[in-house]
Structure 1
Amino acid sequence: MKKFVLILFLVFVGFSIAFGLSIVKPQVGYEVVLIDRPLFFGKGGIQPEPVKTDTKVTWRTTEQIHVHMSPYFSYITLEDILSKDGLLLHTNIYVNLKIKDSVRMISKFGKDGYDWFEEDFKPKVIVPLVHNAISRFNAMEIRDHLKIISDEIKNELTSYVKKNELPIELVYFYIHSIILPRELENQLIETRIQQAKLETEQKRQKVEEQRLETERKRAEADIAYRDAMHLTNKDFAILKQIDVLQNLCRLNNKCTFLIGRNDIFPIKHSDEED
């Protein structure tokens, strides 16, 4: 019996030396999912708890999968999005998501979140939703509806994640820009230039109309005053001339009026007469 135990111990030691032990230490922002793969005895499979911060010693045969747990940012460029009127558009999209459960991610998909996103979620879920949402608008309308389109796609992605019980959280999603074909872009720029010119002309016309209205009201007031004072047109013109000259003299502090038969002349006094 002692001999059997000794042999078993030697086998264990030899096994440990041959296959060795492995140290698991996750980097900052990562969790390590362990998959047991015994050679001779024991149960294999994914361990229920990941290694998060502490160091752990395992058999060298235990597989380690490092899962990135920090929010994952992706900038997606799509160059073949068709608008409702059949034009190819260049689309730039921002997506941010993070893994909520590293063990479920590996057990469900067998890969890290980055690989799963690039190989599965982006081409099979995001791209079709973007195609479908943008295809409902004409090219010239899309830029005015970017927020509506982005919010719609984000809501659909959130529903998809919840319905399929994916171990991720969609932090944000929005369409950053839509680049139109060059000829359409030039047409849009020209349209905006014409709109700006039209708005400028409308503002100028409004100012001119206000000026004319002010002059009309002033003229009506002058006529009403002339009629109330029973003045002739000539007498009223002289009064208006005197009023203008008074204003000029007021600016110059001192002046004298020489009133003749036909004309009125103001004479400005020099400062030496003070």
Structure 2
Amino acid sequence: MKKILSILSLVALVVLMTSCHGVRPGAGEESVLIYKPWFFGHGGVDKTPVQTGLTWCWWSTSSETFKVIPVQYNENFKDIISLDNTPISLTAHALIQIEKGKTPDLYENFGTQWYENIIQKDFCNEVRNEISKYPMVQLTSKRSIYDNISKHIEEVLNKKISSEKIPIKLIKVIIDKAKPNEEVMEEYNHTASAIQKLQTEEANARMQEVRKVSESKRAEADDAYRLKMGLTPDQYIKLRSLEIEKEKVDMVRGKANVNVTMLMGNGATPIYNVK
């Protein structure tokens, strides 16, 4: 009889062990137990979450694990239209924390996809609406704009969280600085290159014009000097040639081992006769 009881006890222990499983949430997590009895009892959500540690449950009991530390949710935007109809790209972040001990309520009322179901759509819509109120130039140059946008979105989302009694805390909303999308940036680069080329050409044209005016004034001054001295054009050319040769001599005066080649043309009429 004792042998039979021992066998039955062993069988009962094996059945008990194989009919259970452990729920072990990690640090910063809570697990919610969902009862699904096979034969008797009632199902539902256990209002007391499993915190860090190990809890044994029947195989019919399932669990969902939530992080109760702050988690950052990131949303990427590539096609927001600014006030001046420029498509821009940016990333927005929402730092959210589930209230500790409230994970059963969160699961029961909003499910495991609570962010996607109740927060994401409103968050993205507010970002788009607020960004579209500003022209691209301001969005790319004024950081204070993003502080104002973040504050407004926090107020809107906190009002929703409070009114719908969602057991979460919105810690902060952060909006990264916007930038034109790739197509717009490529067009800007082409435009900037064309503008730079045009500015260079205009600068060269102005330099040529200045040089032209300078040469013209210099020629007028030379001609006025020639007339004042009573020289013919040939005589003036000869005089300038002599002045240039004198400048060569002055440049090398006092320097050793320097030869100077004097160029004396015969085409001009002498200034005075040399005997």
- Normalising to structure 1: TM-score of the pair? 0.58
Secondary structure of the structure 1 residue equivalent to 2:178: strand
Report Cα offsets for 1:130-170 as digits up to 9, x if no partner. 11111222222234222211211122111221121111111
Identity %: 25
Secondary structure of the structure 2 residue equivalent to 1:94: strand
Q: Is the 8 A contact 2:28 2:52 kept in 1?
A: no
Distance 2:49 2:152 in 1: 35
In the alignment, does 2:152 pair up with 1:152?
Answer: yes
Secondary structure of the structure 2 residue equivalent to 1:31: strand
1:126 maps to which of 115, 123, 127: 123
Which aligned segments of 4 or more residues in structure 1 are displaced greater than 3 angstroms?
A: 12-19, 183-187
Partner residue, 1:182:
185
Q: Which amino acid aligns with 2:35?
A: D
Distance 1:185 1:92 in 2: 22
CA 1:86–1:122: 2 relative to 1, 3 Å? farther
Partner residue, 2:110:
109
Equivalence map 1:221-240=2 (5 Å): none
Q: Which amino acid aligns with 1:116?
A: W
Distance 1:139 1:184 in 2: 15
Q: Which amino acid aligns with 1:57?
A: W
Partner residue, 2:40:
41
Gaps of 5+ in 1: 1-5, 191-274
Secondary structure of the structure 2 residue equivalent to 1:76: strand
Deviation of 1:47 after TM superposition, in Å, equals: 0.6
Report Cα offsets for 1:220-242 as digits up to 9, x if no partner. xxxxxxxxxxxxxxxxxxxxxxx
Distance 2:156 2:119 in 1: 14
Q: Which amino acid aligns with 1:97?
A: I
Q: Which amino acid aligns with 2:127?
A: V
In the alignment, does 2:28 pair up with 1:51?
Answer: no
Partner residue, 2:167:
167
Q: Which amino acid aligns with 1:149?
A: I
Report Cα offsets for 1:156-215 as digits up to 9, x if no partner. 11122112111111111121110123268669x99xxxxxxxxxxxxxxxxxxxxxxxxx
When Rg is computed on C-alpha atoms for both structures, the one with the higher figure is 2
Distance 1:165 1:58 in 2: 30
Equivalence map 1:8-23=2 (5 Å): 13=12, 16-17=15-16, 20-23=19-22
Secondary structure of the structure 2 residue equivalent to 1:28: coil
Q: Which amino acid aligns with 2:174?
A: Y
The structure richer in strand per residue is 1
Deviation of 1:82 after TM superposition, in Å, equals: 1.4
Distance 1:183 1:122 in 2: 35
Secondary structure of the structure 2 residue equivalent to 1:91: strand
CA 1:25–1:122: 2 relative to 1, 3 Å? same
Q: Is the 8 A contact 2:26 2:53 kept in 1?
A: no
Distance 1:25 1:167 in 2: 22
CA 1:77–1:185: 2 relative to 1, 3 Å? farther
Aligned Cα root-mean-square deviation (Å)? 3.1
Distance 1:186 1:168 in 2: 45
Deviation of 1:106 after TM superposition, in Å, equals: 0.6
Secondary structure of the structure 2 residue equivalent to 1:177: coil
Q: Is the 8 A contact 1:154 1:174 kept in 2?
A: no
Partner residue, 2:71:
72
CA 1:122–1:47: 2 relative to 1, 3 Å? closer
Q: Which amino acid aligns with 1:141?
A: Q
Deviation of 1:35 after TM superposition, in Å, equals: 0.6
Distance 2:174 2:131 in 1: 13
CA 1:105–1:45: 2 relative to 1, 3 Å? same
Matched pairs, number? 179
Report Cα offsets for 1:63-118 as digits up to 9, x if no partner. 1111111110123211111112222110112221111121111101221xxx432x
Distance 1:176 1:17 in 2: 55
Q: Which amino acid aligns with 1:133?
A: E
